[in-house]
Chain A
Amino acid sequence: MRILLVEDDSLLGDGIRAGLKLADYAVDWVRDGEAARLALLDHAYQACVLDLGLPKRDGVAVLKDLRQRGNHLPVLILTARDSSADKIAGLDAGADDYLTKPFDLLELQARLRALIRRARGSATPTLEHAGVVLEPATKRVTRDGKPVTLSAREYALLHDLLSHQTHIRTRSQLEESLYAWGEETGSNTVEVYVHHLRRKLGADFIRTVRGLGYQLGDSA
């Protein structure tokens, strides 16, 4: 899962990126409003963590711009101003949630999980398909009740596929979801992780759609 982090403070941005990486998110970090606008135009993210006081382009302006284009990306606002007026302005501009600095990393992670889950249109905190259950909060994966151990990339790939149950996911979509900027992807890494997942979850769990990409197999 790829997340856009917009934070102008280098120390704080560094911390949030590290914290989100711990939750196996791929994090793109930009430091001003203009860069945020461009990143949001060019890439598909699962969520955006947006600071409000930004150079070049205010966070609220970035948000309004995003919503005007009809983009429903879950956006969590980070603000150091705790006045209601600031929160109201942010929420009214189209934010889904906010956190006031200083905040708890675990809370940020939980809120992002909830936002991503709701954006998927699901109220249950777990993702399920063909006896495989993924709990985003604990990152636990079970197959028929038995725990399955996955690497961070394998987990991210499984999460992506489970989040788009009926969709066909192209290789580039999956790559974009798995990797942040600057993380070089090998030519066939997605295939490698699909292969690993099939080995751990069953050969039919992921179906190859020739010439297009991958999809979850039929429920057994």
Chain B
Amino acid sequence: MVKGSSGVQSLRWRLLSTVCIAALLGLGLSGALTYRKAQQEAEELMDGHLAQTARLLLALVRDNESHLADLATRLATVRSDRASHYDPPLEFQIRRADGSLLLRSEHPPDTPLSASPGYTVIEHDGHRWRMLTLTLNEASGDYRVQVGQSIRLRDRAALEVATQSVVPIALMSPVLLLLIYYSVRRGLQPLDDLAAEVASRSPENLKPLASGNAPLEVQPLLAALNRLIFRLRGTLESERRFTADAAHELRTPLAVVKIQAQVAQLSGNADDRQHALAQIVAGADRATRVLEQLLRLARLDPLARLPNPGEIDLTALARQAVADTAPTREAGVIRLQVSDSPLLVRGDGELLQIALRNLLDNAVRYTPPDSTITVFARRHDGALSLGVIDDGRGVPPDELPRLVERFYRGCEPSAEGSGLGLAITQRIAELHEARFEVENLAGGGFEARLCWGRTWAA
């Protein structure tokens, strides 16, 4: 709770320590000030006492000058014997202006009475004393009185007073610290609750986090978390769909292989057996194709950019594609339509070849055997494009946007592709920062192309 491992600072610890330090500093400062003030007040109070005593003594001496000897013995009791801090022993002497002693306590400081009235500090009897000298000028004569207190005892009294005033503050500080601790804990509770909720979640539970009673400061965090959860859910959902679709696509050819193999085992007819065996081969081919496409897509998906792009001539790609396909085409025509000068783009030749072959395969698969298919690479209005045109029936308009969906095969029951070809082409286009476009042509037929809006061509 104090500090996370790996040196991560805990918010609670930071809050607690800073608030506590601030509180303790405040308390200490106010304690020190109070202490100083209390000490000063105590000093002033005792100085006041000194002055009062001095004036009282003067008044007494003046009125009783005739029997000062009696007064002296009585006044001896003024000097306290109980050495309490608040009643420190008092020494005094009263003299006339000419210096003749009128009255004194038992052990007064034997310093001469200075002419200047006021407070002084002197050394007496091994201690420091606070002395007050007062003069009284009357018709009957001048008197001087000197009253003194031991500073040590005065200090002790002042200390006592000051300490007493600081004690409540000192007593309060643990209570304050405890209160701070609980406030911080309570204040951070929503964060703990949130952490506990997130921690207790199973990976399947991707419901948004409830933001009901979370404080304002936590709301942005919650909102961000919920946005993340939302995106995660989307990703997981599409992953799940992809896995299900992939399983579907692999199960069907496997089912073909299995059932045709069993037909071959069970059939007594040699022709039927041969037919079933041929179908097994076709099924295995299809499973292989689906697997290849799936793996290709799996490899392309995580790429953020092309690994090592080079300069690729689109016309060469188109020529190559036609050369590769033509011999296997049983009927119909595959034509080539490329510009004379090379059309250069930055890209990956192998991937572009795959993309073009997918387009060409689709055209072959979805058009009647006698149709004409054109592979083209051209420059038009500064844009480069590479693609395939056929003169078949085209694609129903409502299916156009779904063509690049993974495993979408259109409504043609004869479609035998993996449903991944155009998805792969689309992905390759993305990696090449090209657009993948499909359209039904006005005069019938269908065109699919990769399109570079701006040319990288020299």
Contacts and interface: CB of A to CB of B under 8 A. Distances in A.
Interface residues of B, number: 30
Q: Which 7 residue pairs are nearest across A and B when measured between Cβ atoms?
A: A102-B255, A15-B259, A101-B255, A105-B262, A31-B413, A80-B248, A80-B251
Interface of B: 244, 247-248, 251-260, 262-263, 266-267, 272, 275-276, 279, 282-283, 286, 410-414, 416
A32 interface: yes
Contacts of A53: 248
The interface centre, meaning the residue of A11, A53, A81 with most chain B CB atoms within 10 A of its CB, is: A11
A114 to B, nearest CB: 19
A103 interface: yes
Contacts of A32: 411, 413
A147 interface: no
A18 B411 contact: no
Contacts of A56: 411, 413
Q: How large is the interface on A (under 10, 10 to 19, 20 to 34, 35 or more residues)?
A: 20 to 34
A82 B247 contact: yes
A110 interface: no
16 contacts: A9-B416, A11-B279, A11-B282, A12-B255, A12-B283, A15-B260, A18-B272, A18-B275, A19-B262, A31-B414, A53-B248, A55-B410, A80-B251, A80-B252, A102-B251, A104-B262
B259 A16 contact: yes
A81 B263 contact: no
A104 B259 CA distance: 7
A160 interface: no
A38 interface: no
A56 B413 CA distance: 9
Contact of A103 (B255, B267, B275, B416): B255
Contacts of A12: 252, 255-256, 259, 283
A135 interface: no
A12 B253 CA distance: 7
B256 A15 contact: yes
A83 B276 contact: no
Contact of A106 (B252, B260, B262, B410): B262
Given A19-B262, A19-B266, A105-B258, 8 more contacts: A9-B416, A11-B253, A14-B279, A15-B259, A19-B263, A80-B247, A80-B248, A106-B262
A104 B255 CA distance: 8
B254 to A, nearest CB: 4
A105 B416 CA distance: 22
A209 to B, nearest CB: 36
A22 interface: yes
A9 B282 CA distance: 12
A105 B251 CA distance: 15
Contacts of A104: 258, 262
Contacts of B253: 11
Contacts of A172: none
A102 B258 contact: yes
A103 B259 contact: yes
A36 to B, nearest CB: 11
Interface string A37-66: 000000000000000010110000000000
A154 interface: no
Nearest to A55: B411
Interface string A1-45: 000000011111011101100100000000110000000000000
B244 A81 contact: yes
Contact of B252 (A9, A22, A55, A83): A9
Contacts of B257: 102
The interface centre, meaning the residue of B247, B262, B275 with most chain A CB atoms within 10 A of its CB, is: B262
Contacts of A55: 410-413
A80 B248 CA distance: 5
A78 to B, nearest CB: 8
A81 B258 contact: no
Contacts of A80: 247-248, 251-252, 255
Contacts of B251: 80, 100-102
